[in-house]
Structure 1
Amino acid sequence: MRIVNMGGWPLDEGPHEPGGEPLWNESCYFDFVSDDGEVGGYVRLGLYPNWKRAWYWACLVTRDGRRAEVIDHEAPLPGPDLAVAGDCYEATHDVVEPFRTARVRLAGAGLSLDLEWRTAGGVYGYALTPRYEIPCEVTGTVDGVPFHGYGERDHSWGVRDWWSLSWVWSSGRLGDGTHLHAMRPNLGLELPWPAFRVPPGGELEQVEGCTVGTEFDGDRPARSVLRFPGRATTVRPIAFAPVTLTSPEGAVAEFVRALCRFEAEDGPAGYGWTEWHQPPDWRQHSWWS
């Protein structure tokens, strides 16, 4: 298994000692989309130990308009096993084999998941912040129905202030087997922002010089273009699954996430997830590059 650009911080799938900042956060994401793009979803468990709560999100969408979700912004902090429960749900998040296999089980009102993420091509660690992303094959059941598809999972820890910075994050798999990932915060600076791809049947490779631009229709993104060297890919939303986030001081941000179709300029198409985070002042930033 190839591990790229880990940035000198610990290679660690387990929980970390919290910092002293009020918004210090540790989170795990798991997203998925079926082979045909008809159904997809994501799970996020975020721990705010100094705010004395956890955030738990599980969202499921379909191409024909179904949307089911469990959103809990006042979940009790879990123990090291990362098992959480609320009034209408119970969920577990297990690393079965570090950096290779993870499993999520959720029993909730109107939504149940039992899915396994198996690493496909390697692990990508960010150089600028303690975080890693892992492209995966995903199998199991969704609402009791057998599921096969692809997705990505990640793990990060550090200060997470949702109300001060906008960004675009995108991860998908094309029909030829290529996994793509790009992330770009809107800072007005040109830095080596995180980007990678996994060629069909190959190993993960870091990509330099990737840019991301977005066009909006009102507040909702209409499309983004991921410009990888040698291949530009257009990302178009199929079904949105946003979450509204309120800070301790009452500021409101919109976490806009969508199941998307990915269309490469040279032909291959596929599916994945993209997010366009909108803090209170997001319109002051340029989203097209």
Structure 2
Amino acid sequence: MDARHEFFHAPGDGEFWSESHYLDVIGDGAAAHARIGFYPNRDAANVFAYLLDGTGTDATVYRLRDDAVDLDHVHGLTVDAPDLHFEMVPEEVGRDWRVAFGGTATRCESAADVVGGDGEPVAVDVELVTRARHEPFLYSGGADWPGGEDEDRYEVATRVEGAATVEGEETRTLTLEGPGERDHSWGRRDWTDGEWLWISGSFEDGSAYNHLSAWPAGYGPSEMDPVITNGFWFDGETVHAVTAADLSADPPFGEETGSEWMEAGAAPTIDLTLEWDGGSTALAVEPGATTPVDWKDEDTGHRAVLNRSPSVQTRDGEIDGRGWLENMTQFPE
């Protein structure tokens, strides 16, 4: 990958052109994900960061979210706002990064608390180092991608090491060590015009993957084939572009499932088969806790939710793994 893709890109036209950096990790008893996003044509930036004490449906979630960070506190990939700090720094371009975030988080005990931002304030601090397991995979080199280098993203499976500190009556330290996924995206990103499943995972045999299936708003795998299929399979040595995917969710993706997932943490189970030149695999996915991120247009009433969950996964019925996934659901007016 060209090293320039690690840094900021010249923005295209339109208010929805954005650029973002993301990292997740799932350990034995804790997990986290963090994202910083920029909308240069709107002079806007946001940060979503979540620390999970536990990975199952009973996990406690520490929520750090600022939909409109004061740009006076934004310096590239560093944010130093009064109640929020965030930093992503490359240690080796295209490979390893240091990621840190913290501040006054909201302690949430349910999915409804997470989406509503309800809970007691708690100081948290997270320090991570993420190390790439292969060269970043550009979606423009995958099966389906409507953009080119001017509107692209890359994905890379990683190993993450670090820890989190949670303040309280007794200060606690959570170990964050395990597989992760890092990505960087740039291009038009309108949360109102599509639905998708983005998913990644790593397995005990050293294999890993990332996959995206996307549909028009109001559709999903039970209604039609995806309009975008992309991602990679990493066999431990070589990265292969995914050429086809078949997936199903129980219950099916849609408004009812997305709402139950967002409000009650009732996530669907997912079966996913991936194919690439020379191979295929069947994955069974059981999501755990949910960290929903919602968006609402105050003028139209249109709402969308991105349900993001850690998951336990099984490959071909016998190889254990784990990872993260996100499902975008539209709720029309």
Is the TM-score greater than 0.5?
A: yes
| Structure in which a larger fraction of residues adopt helix | 2
Offset at residue 248 of structure 1 (A): 6.8
**TM-superposition CA deviations, 1:112-150 (whole Å, max 9, x none):** 211011110221101223111111010122224443211
CA-atom RMSD in angstroms: 2.2
Number of the residue aligned with 2:274: 228
Q: Pick the structure with greater CA Rg.
A: 2
**TM-superposition CA deviations, 1:215-257 (whole Å, max 9, x none):** 2274233111120233210111111111111347453211111
Structure 2: distance between partners of 1:10 and 1:142: 30
Give unmatched runs, 5+ long, in structure 1: 4-8, 283-289
The aligned length equals: 272
Whether 1:47 and 2:38 are equivalent positions in the alignment is yes
Whether 1:268 and 2:319 are equivalent positions in the alignment is yes
Number of the residue aligned with 1:32: 25
Structure 2: distance between partners of 1:281 and 1:222: 21
Check conservation: 2:25, 2:177, Cα contact below 8 A.
no
TM-score, structure 1 as length reference: 0.86
Offset at residue 189 of structure 1 (A): 4.9
Whether 1:195 and 2:231 are equivalent positions in the alignment is yes
Secondary structure at 1:211 match in 2: strand
Structure 1: distance between partners of 2:203 and 2:135: 17
What is the letter of the counterpart of residue 213 of structure 1? S
Change (3 A) 1:159 1:269: same
Structure 2: distance between partners of 1:158 and 1:165: 15
Structure 2: distance between partners of 1:190 and 1:222: 19
Number of the residue aligned with 1:216: 251
Whether 1:57 and 2:48 are equivalent positions in the alignment is yes
Report matched runs for 1:31-110 at 5 Å. 31-34=24-27, 36=28, 38-61=29-52, 62-63=54-55, 64-77=58-71, 81-109=76-104, 110=123
Check conservation: 1:196, 1:207, Cα contact below 8 A.
yes
**TM-superposition CA deviations, 1:9-62 (whole Å, max 9, x none):** 98510011222201111111111111x3x2211101010122222110001222
Number of the residue aligned with 2:110: none
Number of the residue aligned with 1:18: 11
Check conservation: 2:158, 2:179, Cα contact below 8 A.
yes
Structure 1: distance between partners of 2:156 and 2:209: 11
Structure 2: distance between partners of 1:198 and 1:91: 30
Give unmatched runs, 5+ long, in structure 2: 105-122, 166-172, 217-223, 262-266
TM-score, structure 2 as length reference: 0.75
